[in-house]
Amino acid sequence: MGVLLKSFQQGEVATSKLLDLVLGKKRIERLTERIGAARVVERNVETTAYKQRQLMQKVTGPEGVEPHVAVAVMADGGRFQRDQRAEDSETHWHEYKAGLVLKLGARADDKPRGADQDDPCPTVPSFLVNSEQVETLTREIGQKAANVPEASDGDSIDLNEIETLPALERVVAESTTNRALSSRELPLSPTIQSREVVATTGRSTAFGSALVSTAWSQGLFQAKWKAYVGDGQNWIWSTWKKHFKPFGFIPILDVIHAVTYVYASAMGGHERKTL
C-alpha cells in the first residue's frame, strides 16, 4: 500500500479496509522506506556483481535462466516534486530515470515473416496519417502531466469496489484487462510475459549500470530478438551505446515521440483552420 497508492494516509485507509488492521500511516511509511532501502542495497550488490563478471560470463548468461525469444528494454526520464529543493536548483522539481525490462510474447497477428518481410508494419499505420488523430495525440502527450490531479494526504479514496476483492486479485484483474485492451486496439503489439522495473533519482551512469544488470539477470542477452526503445534524450542513447549495443540490442526510437516533433514542425507557421 505504501507504493501502490498516492499517500501513506491512503495506505492506512486501504489497509484497514482490506485487512481489517489499523497500522497507522507513520508505521506504513517506516515499513515502506525500510523495505525500499533494503531493495536498493540488493540492487547495488547485483549491479556490482555484474560489473565484475567477465565478458564471456555476460555472453553466456545467468545459470538457470531460460533464454527468451523476444525481449525489450525501455528507458525514459521524468520529473516529480518533493518537499526538499533539488540540488543546484531553485525549484522543488527533481528528475528520475526509469526503465522496463520486458520478456515479450509473439506478435498479436502472429504472421510468419520471410527474408523480405522483416518489418512487421511496412506501411505507416492509418492513425498516424490522420491529422485530427495526430493533433489529439500530440496535444494529450504535452498536457497529460498537467491535467492529472494529485491527491493530498487529506484526500479520501473510494474503496467500495475493492472491499470484496483482495488487493492482489484486483491488481491482476486490472492488468489483465489492460493487456486485453492493448491487444485489441494495437494488433501489432506483442504480449508482455514478464516485467521488471528499474528506477532511480541518481545519475544516468548509475541508472545504466542498474538497468543492464537487471536485463542480464533476466536472461535478455541470450534472446533472439532484442529491442532497446527510448525517446530523444541523449543519456538514453549513451546508455544503449555503452551497455546494450555490444550485445545486439536494436535501437528503436519511440514512434509517438518522433511524431510529436514531426507534427510540431509541420504545423510551424500554420493555423489549424488553414489545413
C-alpha 71/C-alpha 87 separation (Å) is: 36
Q: Which of 145, 14, 154 is nearest to 81 (CA)?
A: 145
77 HSE (CA, 13 A, CB side): 18
Domain boundaries, the chain: 66-148+190-274
Give the model's pLDDT for residue 164: 34
The rounded Cα 209 to chain-centroid distance in angstroms is: 17
Residues 6 or more apart whose CB falls under 8 angstroms from that of 129 comprise none
Position 234: which residue type?
Answer: N
Give the model's pLDDT for residue 170: 43
Contact 194, 100 (CB under 8 A): no
Give the model's pLDDT for residue 251: 93
Please list the pLDDT of the chain residue by residue as tens digits (275 residues): 666 777 888 888 888 877 777 788 888 888 888 988 898 899 889 989 989 989 888 888 888 888 888 899 999 988 877 777 767 777 778 888 999 999 998 655 445 555 445 666 677 777 777 777 787 777 766 554 334 333 334 444 343 433 333 443 443 444 444 444 444 445 566 788 899 999 988 889 999 999 999 999 999 999 988 999 998 889 999 999 999 999 999 999 888 888 887 887 877 776 665 44
C-alpha 215/C-alpha 114 separation (Å) is: 29
Contact 219, 67 (CB under 8 A): yes
Q: Is the dihedral of CA 256, 260, 265, 266 positive or negative?
A: positive
Residues 6 or more apart whose CB falls under 8 angstroms from that of 136 comprise none
Give the model's pLDDT for residue 211: 95
Give the model's pLDDT for residue 66: 84
Neighbours of 114 (CB within 10 A): 6
